[in-house]
Every structure is written in structure tokens, then in C-alpha cells.
Amino acid sequence: MNPVVPELSKQPALDIPGLLRQAGLRPNKRLGQNFLMDSAALDKVIQAADLHKEDVVLEVGAGLGSLTRLLAVHACRVTAVEVDEHLFRLLTEIMSIYPNVHLVQGDILKLDPVELTAGDLGESHKGNYIVAANIPYYITSAVIRHLLEARRQPDRMVLTIQREVAERLCAKPGEMSLLSLSVQVYGQPKITAQIPAGAFYPVPQVDSSVVQIVCFDEPLIPRHQLKLFFRLAKAGFSQKRKTLRNALAGGLHLSPQQAGDILQSAAIDPQRRAETLSLAEWHILVDACVSLSRPDQQ
């Protein structure tokens, strides 16, 4: 029998500043706490998540439950993670009336997303979980990589992140970065909405964007080659002003001649720069390294 979830329309809106004051708490700057509280902005996140009643959701950074309550109404089960133990006690009280929400106090970077959702998915569940997150700016890249590199990837991720980072994440060849490659090898990102700074408490100094990442069934680079791919990409972007030949030579401890030979084998101009390469060209470069069978590259 499915649990009866309270209708959100019958619940009072959360007064985040008031709740914090009553509990003697303040937003923790060290943890990058900016609480999304604007109802229109929260609705944009829910729309991007495209939830159905059978869906299982993993929320990262639950805060005081503004988004968690909406997720609970639209999904089957929600596992919500919050790192702040002081905030977590208040969150537990707020979410106590939602039987389909499981709260976890901890650092998502130290937790296994698969284990967090395994009990909800079960053996018969056809789909994977969906991630919803309002990510602190300072750990955006680390959290995204952690979730995408999990043993079982989500079907999709909906993230509220700094607008500038969102644009970098969705970049096209010519403006690529290590971050955009790290995401686009696993899924297709797109910006679905813009959220002004005033939608948060306290108000941050920058605007945010809602990004939806639809994950591929398999990475665009074969899994057994991902380690080499990231090694090449990190080397390529390690010195942005240098040509690929010189950047790869420095990052991989090769001579310029050796790096040039690898690029020539991949039919990539050694004078190009890393940000101009498409994922397809990175794949060709990985294959070229493998075909050359260099022991120090595998």
C-alpha cells in the first residue's frame, strides 16, 4: 500500500529565515548555504525533473525541505541528503509528515548514490533514480563527477547551479573545458531555466541556472578507456594557452615530437588547443593512444 502524502497546497509555505531564527541557526557560509525559497523557481526545478508517481529521487542538499516537499508530492520515494547536522534536526521535524521521504545526514561525496537508492529501486524497478540538487557553488564539479561516475547512473539530473558554471557545463567545441567534457561524456546537458539571485536566502552575489542532464545508457567513451580519456583531457587543459602538442607533452611527460606523433595519428592538428576538440575527436585521440600501444599511456 502506498503511503499517503500530504497535499502541498494544504501545507503552509516554509518561512526559511523565520525557521532558522527560531532554531537559533544562521546560514553556514562555509557550507555555501543559500536556500532556494521562491515558489516559481522551485516549480522550474520540478518541471525540469519531469517526475512521475513511480520515480525514485535522490536529493542532494535538502536544506530545510523547500524542494523536498515538492519532490515528495510528485515522486514515489525521495532520499534527501543534508550534510549540516544542526540543520538536519530541523529538517527532520519539517519532513516528519511525509512518509515517502527518507532523510540521510552526511556528505554526499562520502556516500554511495547506488546504496542510497538501492532499497527504493528494488530488483523489479525498471528505471534508475533521478537526482535533484541545489549544489553549493564551491563543490559543484566534485558533486557532479561523483554522481555521474557512480556504479549506477541516474536517468537524469536536475541541478541548480551558478549561471556561469551552467554555461561552461553546456559549452560547445571552441569553448569546451574539463568540466564540460566530464559531464558530456556521460550525458546531454541543457539549461532549462534561469533563477535570479533574489530567489535565494541569503541572496548570493550571482544568478543561477537550472540544468537538466539526461544520462546516456553508456558513456560516449568506452568505460575501459575512461581513465585514459580523463588523463589526456587533464593534460590537454592543464596549460590553456599552449597548443595541444605542448600541453600533452607537458602533462604526459612526453617530448613534443612524441605528443605530435599521437596527434598526427589521430588526424588532429597539433597546433589546435584543447577547448576546440569535440568529444568525438577526444575519442579518436584515445583510440590513437591505444593503437600506438604506449605502456605509459594505458
- The pLDDT score that the predictor gives to residue 85 is 96
pLDDT of 124? 43
What's the pLDDT at 169?
96
Query: What local confidence, expressed as pLDDT, does residue 128 receive?
Result: 84
Q: Is 197 in a helix, a strand, or coil? A: helix
The residues, any chain, with a CB within 8 Å of residue 17's CB and separated by 6 or more, are 201
Check residue 6 and give its pLDDT: 72
> What local confidence, expressed as pLDDT, does residue 120 receive?
64
Three-state DSSP state, 251: helix
Tell me which residue of 215, 211, 161, 165 sits closest to 191, measured CA to CA: 211
The whole-number pLDDT of residue 119 equals 73
Closest CA to 262 of 226, 287, 230: 287
pLDDT of res. 2: 55
CATH superfamily of 223-297: rRNA adenine dimethylase, C-terminal domain (1.10.8.100)
Phi, psi of 59, deg, nearest 5: -100, 135
**What is the chain's length?**
298
For the chain, the domains span 8-215, 223-297
State the pLDDT at residue 297.
43
pTM of the model: 0.91
Domains 8-215 and 223-297 agree in fold: no
Listed in sequence order, the DSSP H helices in 76-193 are 85-94, 113-121, 140-148, 163-169, 178-184
Domain 8-215 sits in CATH at 3.40.50.150
Which residue stretches of the chain have pLDDT < 50? 1, 123-126, 295-298
Please tell me whether residue 211 adopts helix, strand or coil conformation. strand
- Write out pLDDT tens, residues 25-75: 999 999 999 999 999 999 999 999 999 999 999 999 999 999 999 999 999
* Predicted pLDDT at 1: 47
Separate counts of helices (H) and strands (E) for the chain: 12, 9
Supply the pLDDT for residue 27: 94
